[in-house]
Structure 1
Amino acid sequence: MRTDVTFPGAGPELAGHLYLPDGGAPGPRPTIVVGHPGSGVKEQASGLYARRLAERGFVTLAFDAAHQGESEGEPRGLEDPGRRVEDFKAAVSFLTTRDEVDPGRIGALGICASGGYALAATATDHRVRAVGTVSAVDISRQFRLGADGAQDPAVLPGMLDAAAKARTAEARGEGVQRFPLFPATEEEARRGGPHVFEGWEYYCTPRAAHPRSAKELTWSSVDRIAAFDAFRSIGLIAPRPLLLIVGGDAVTSWMSVAAFQKARGPKELVRIEGAVHMDLYDKDEHVTPAVEKLDEFFAAHLAG
């Protein structure tokens, strides 16, 4: 059963979908808060995982980040890593007030950029008892080094120059300055390489396009992203357990490997063979084994 909910964030009010298991034992129950990929919304990958895990007996919450989706916050399309981490903590706070939730058995799950945010939030929020990620990305590493880690070092300084000019333009009353996240056409997307095409196909075609999914970010997001490091405090997660799930063919998997290497406590890195990054967002042949592993992980570590 899905219920629309709203709850206080670190400023803007946040919107979410709360999923409850059908039938079975009454609450309070183990619960998982699920964060969406960068530019995503709760109706896409995070909602899919939340629903699938609720079918396995967990209470789950998929929510939209501040400034995105149905959540409040201006300007729209702001990607602020510090705020995204606080959004996770606000979601945990909300869950602790619900009768259906056992506040001592809350876990976190992050997909793509929210994988990095979930790790950062869990590191300093001891209410989160276990954390899992799917196709985890540290958004700062992606902007600095590229999805595959091989980006020209000159790209980020150029983006920071553009961000600085945009902030000046906004100060002069020229309005919020934004940049597109995806190519305009399939042809352009294919020229950008496999990972660019993956993103375009997921977010810009009937496969998963949603009217509230962000197609642009504000330029003021860029300097915020550049200063962030999702893995800086990952050692603080220990002794709580960590599960990282990646596609065996995902060009972004090196970031989950980096997180795994920095983590000190109980940890596991699982590869879903044959899957690329976004296959784990919605393709059942890859999502199902990921959900089965998450079910096993959270059932063990959020046990009564």
Structure 2
Amino acid sequence: MTNLITSNEPAARATLNRRALLKMTGASVAAIGAASIITPTAKAQTMTDDWDKVFPKSDRVDHEKVSFTNRYGITLVGDLYLPNDRAGTMPALAVGGPFGAVKEQSSGLYAQTMAERGFVTLAFDPSFTGESGGTPRNTASPDINTEDFMAAVDYLGLHDAVNRERIGVIGICGWGGMALNAVAADKRVKAVVASTMYDMTRVMSKGYNDSVTPEQRAETLAQLSRQRWEDAANGAPAYQSAYNVLKGGEPQFMVDYHDYYMTPRGYHPRAVNSGNAWTQTTPLSFMNMPILSYIAEISPRPVLLIHGEKAHSRYFSET
């Protein structure tokens, strides 16, 4: 059972030029031939017990910082939220996203809100980002980040407060696609929600609304391939330009991103989206590995897809 819910929330339906599109998808630096840069802020983080979220702590929820290991041996760090009025075992949710965000932002707010509604929830930083382990910093992988969701399910299923037969997943934005991919393979998960879902492999491969030509794709891959030699020679990856730094003339959705990630409303120093950057070669595996090939195998388990009526990314969920 698959549902697509839309609402009248304001969102931009922008006509993107190629430069703006590729900046959004993470392929811009390679595609437009910008100079390589090494970002000094891309360092492994130390786990903190401080409440450093962009939202206030709920007095209806107990919170603790936790860590667990994925199948690749990478230590992931998460925030566990439990209703403070609880008895017996409860349903649980693993929550991740958006792409380039950290658990102190949207996913943590989703997790805390769902804990207020009776779920044990786990918001986590994906591998290579935030407080989670993995090097180089600020890189992404369609395979490893899919595994991160499954590792979160591992953790929840071993927790004394959780009914392991009632575990679901929420994926936000670019991690909505990862969530669907994970649940297709992980038959332990009973339901999945993708909120404002992006298929990051599709948008990096084909551009917004599949507008990138085969010639443009080949050019991008050629530049990304050559960048590997540069990184190998330097012994460290080059990074893209800082995300969500406006220079004027950007589409409205990028202005909206800035108004969340770069203002007190949503800024967090560990987030890639808050003025940091992905490695230049991050798009390589996304351009070569479509993640949603098997999502029909989620059936008969329920899927809920949520998008704004005018969201520029709505077509992913419609597909």
Give the shorter-chain TM-score range.
Answer: 0.7 to 0.9
Q: Distance in 1 between matches of 2:222 and 2:242?
A: 18
The aligned amino acid for 1:208 is G
TM-score by length of 1: 0.79
* Shift, 1:27, TM fit: 2.9
Give the number of aligned pairs: 254
The match for 1:208 is 266
Q: 1:16 aligns with which of 48, 73, 78?
A: 78
Instruction: Name segments (4+ residues, structure 1) moved above 6 Å.
Output: none
Q: Distance in 2 between matches of 1:37 and 1:122?
A: 17
Change (3 A) 1:205 1:118: same
Question: For 1:57-206, what aligned pairs fall within 5 Å after superposition?
Answer: 57-151=118-212, 154-180=215-241, 182-185=243-246, 187-188=247-248, 191-206=249-264
Any stretches of 5+ residues in structure 2 without a counterpart? Answer: 1-61
Q: Distance in 2 between matches of 1:200 and 1:156?
A: 27
1:56 aligns with 2:117: yes
Q: Distance in 2 between matches of 1:2 and 1:143?
A: 36
Confirm or deny: 8 A CA contact 1:144 1:153 kept in the other structure: no
1:151-199 CA distances to partner (integer Å, 9 max, x unpaired)? 56655433322321221112223521111252533x43xx121222222
1:231 aligns with 2:292: yes
Partner SS, residue 65 of structure 1: coil
Q: Distance in 2 between matches of 1:224 and 1:242?
A: 26
The aligned amino acid for 1:146 is G
1:37-69 CA distances to partner (integer Å, 9 max, x unpaired)? 110000111001001100000110000000000
Task: From the two aligned structures, give the one with the greater helix fraction.
Answer: 1
* Shift, 1:206, TM fit: 2.2
Partner SS, residue 172 of structure 1: helix
The aligned amino acid for 1:166 is Q
The aligned amino acid for 1:17 is D
Q: Distance in 2 between matches of 1:147 and 1:119?
A: 20
Change (3 A) 1:254 1:95: same
Question: For 1:239-278, what aligned pairs fall within 5 Å after superposition?
Answer: 239-258=300-319
Change (3 A) 1:157 1:181: farther
TM-score by length of 2: 0.76
The aligned amino acid for 1:90 is A
Confirm or deny: 8 A CA contact 2:244 2:258 kept in the other structure: yes
Q: Distance in 1 between matches of 2:221 and 2:91?
A: 42
